[in-house]
Chains A and B, each alone.
Chain A
Amino acid sequence: MRRAAIIGTGQTHHASKRDDVSQPELVREASARALLDAGIDAAAINAVVISSMELFEGRALPELWLGEAAYAAGKPCMKVATGGTSGTSACIAGYHQVASGMFDLVLVVGYEKHSEGNTQAGMAIVDPYWDRAVASGALGNFALSISQYMADTGVTEEQAARVAVKARRNAARNPYAHLQMADITVEKVLESRMLAHPIHMLDMCPQSDGACAIVIAAEKTANKFCDRPAWIEGAATRHQQPYIGDIERRLTTMETLRSAAKEVYAKAGISDPRRDLDVAEIYEPVTYAELAWYEALGFCGQGDAGRLIEEGVTEMDGELPVNPSGGVLSSNPVGASGVIRVAEAASQVLGRAGEHQVDGATTALATGYGVYAWADALVLRAMS
């Protein structure tokens, strides 16, 4: 395996509706910004990986429509679709292409135009014999798991609301974020409309139109184009059994994320993640998930996540800032959301995160989450 690093990132200004651009034009915006950030020409790209959600965009073979927008014409190009993890899985696929020695420069781009389809209905196209008749979309699935997590840990609605407040306040310093709410409060979250007990409107991620791209380079190329590349120290992906009822107390156990994190921590020499990581960009489609991931990722002990958020450990000025970008709770173009986690973690390490930069961030974690319990994890690090 060769060493590989992220040398540039680009994203769109995520919004509830981008009627002014087609899907390919949206993809081009992010791709062009990533090339500009990396300082390379489109011609230098050797291969392209596209991340998208099947059926959300309503086009067969989206890579056919998007390839040329992502500079893939005449080059190797493939699509990765693994649910919510699509974006992180695509980044890991791109990493493998570079680390294996196959390509020197790979562009990874993910996108979503939520406004063009019906995501809840798309999510309900599940096993036709077993659970299509009783589908309740991502919202219902999360709400079910949250009831177990609350019963297991005693986590409160107020503690979850604090995650929403942190995310949207952080997003107010991120020009690309969809929901920017500098004046959000715990009270406002708890007073927002109940979507599915106990998930309030402000506990849940928005549906966004947006795209995000990263450029991954092999060691020599990375050092040529970048003076502080974000080296990929470890990347792991885990899938889980096919039905929601297969997984024992999903949010509490989250074995896939635990296992993926364990692997990347070992590769990156991280023994105490709270101390050894400088920043984390984790995939939290709902506030309660962020609390559960704190435990699965070893930021705190089992059942201690509520206290961790109350103590401010994961705030911008805390010991381990989590989601300075505002996270999935602030922008959720699903096919892009995983790429955004990796791009934001890379931007922190590259020192290019602007107003939401964590001072001196050297080591960053990015995670992906999809379907009932799929998980991806990556550790990025700048060499001193």
Chain B
Amino acid sequence: MTRPVIISHEMDATWRYASGVAMERFANNLLERRIEAMQCGECKRRYLPPRPFCGNCRVPLTDWAPVASEGVLEAWTVVYLPIVDNRTGITRDGPYAMGLIRLDGADTTLNHYVAETDPACLKVGQRVKAVWREELRGAIDDILHFEVLE
């Protein structure tokens, strides 16, 4: 039997993404530490991230609504397995905590980091608050993570 050949290759690709009108306004808002959702005129659902259409009602979205940078932790986990950040190739080691956060005024939840990594201190239904980065860049990681409020 021939010795098997395994060929290693690092795929390194660059991309340019157009944000679209809704995401552009959302990103520019972040530069002022402001969060806005888009609201469906039919079902009244307030969407984060903002988007051009309501998938459920199949209608275009045009209305904006303010959202707080505080909300409820609807789901949480503490991840112990490292993950490669494919934007940088850098590995993020565990433990790090993730949450689905329903910001006050929004109907969908935001997937983001949570500062607390002790499972005993995390609970569905807890209040959490965004901690902003000093230097804002107009991106979702302008929010560093959410911290648990007592």
- State yes or no: do A and B come from one complex: yes
CB within 8 Å of B: which residues of A? 19-20, 58, 118, 120-122, 124-125, 127-137, 139-140, 143-148, 151, 193-199, 241-246, 249
Say if the beta carbon of B140 comes within 8 Å of chain A: yes
By beta carbon, the residue of chain A nearest B56 is A241
In the bound assembly, the distance between CA atoms of A246 and B87 in angstroms comes to 24
The residue on A at minimum CB distance from B124 is: A151
Total number of residue pairs linking A and B with CB closer than 8 Å: 117
User: Are A244 and B81 within 8 A (Cβ)?
Assistant: no
B78 touches A241 (CB 8 A): no
Considering only CB atoms, which chain B residue lies closest to A151 in the complex?
B124
Q: In the complex, are the beta carbons of A144 and B124 less than 8 A apart? A: no
B147 at the interface (CB under 8 A from A): no
Say yes or no: A145 contacts B19, CB within 8 Å: no
A-B pairs, 4 with minimum CB distance: A143-B77, A245-B109, A133-B141, A144-B75
Is B100 part of the binding interface, using a Cβ–Cβ cutoff of 8 Å?
yes
Interface residues of B in 81-95 (CB under 8 A from A): 81, 83-87
The residue that A121 contacts in the complex, of B47, B76, B84, with Cβ under 8 A, is B84
Residue on B nearest A21 in the bound complex, by CB? B4
Contact A128 B111, CB 8 Å, known A144-B75, A195-B80:
no
- Determine the distance from Cα of A245 to Cα of B17 in the docked complex, in whole angstroms: 22
> Do A140 and B79 touch (CB < 8 A)?
yes
In the complex, B115 has a CB within 8 A of chain A: no
Of chain A, the residue at the smallest CB distance from B84 is A121
Interface residues in B46-64 (C-beta closer than 8 Å to A): 47-49, 55-56
Given contacts A129-B27, A147-B75, contact A134 B83 (CB under 8 A): no
Write the B16-49 contact mask toward A (1 if CB under 8 angstroms, else 0).
Answer: 0101000100110000000000000000000111
- B85 with A124: CB separation less than 8 A: yes
> How many residues on B have C-beta within 8 angstroms of the other chain's C-beta atoms?
44
Given contacts A125-B86, A129-B140, A130-B49, contact A144 B99 (CB under 8 A): yes
User: A-contacting residues of B (Cβ < 8 Å)?
Assistant: 4, 6, 9, 11, 15, 17, 19, 23, 26-27, 47-49, 55-56, 74-81, 83-87, 96, 98-100, 108-113, 119, 124-125, 139-141
**Residues on the B chain within 8 Å of A58, using CB:** 9, 11
Roughly how many angstroms separate A118 CA and B99 CA in the complex, as a whole number?
24
Which residues of the partner chain A approach B76 to less than 8 Å between Cβ atoms?
A: 144, 147
Write out the residue numbers on chain B whose beta carbons fall within 8 Å of the beta carbon of A241. Answer: 55-56
Whether A147 pairs with B124 at a CB distance below 8 angstroms is yes
Query: Is A132 within 8 A of B87, CB to CB?
Result: yes
* Known A129-B140, A196-B79, A245-B108: A148·B98 in contact at CB below 8 Å: no
Contacts of B48 in A (CB 8 A): 245
Q: Chain B residues near A249 (CB, 8 Å)?
A: 74
With A143-B98, A144-B98, A196-B78 in contact, is A135–B83 under 8 Å at CB? yes
Contact check, A134 vs B111: say whether CB atoms are below 8 A apart. yes
CA distance A246 to B49 in the complex (A): 9
Whole-angstrom CA separation of A127 from B20 in the bound complex: 12
Please give, as numbers and ranges, the residues of chain B lying within 8 Å of A129 by CB-CB distance.
17, 19, 23, 26-27, 49, 139-140
A19, A128, A197: the one contacting B6 at CB < 8 Å is A19
Q: With both chains docked as a complex, state the minimum distance between the C-beta of B12 and any C-beta of chain A, in angstroms.
A: 12
Residues in B with CB closer than 8 Å to A198 are: 77, 119
Do residues B77 and A197 form an inter-chain contact, with CB atoms below 8 A? yes
A140→B77 contact, CB < 8 A: yes
CB distance from A193 to the nearest CB of B (A): 8
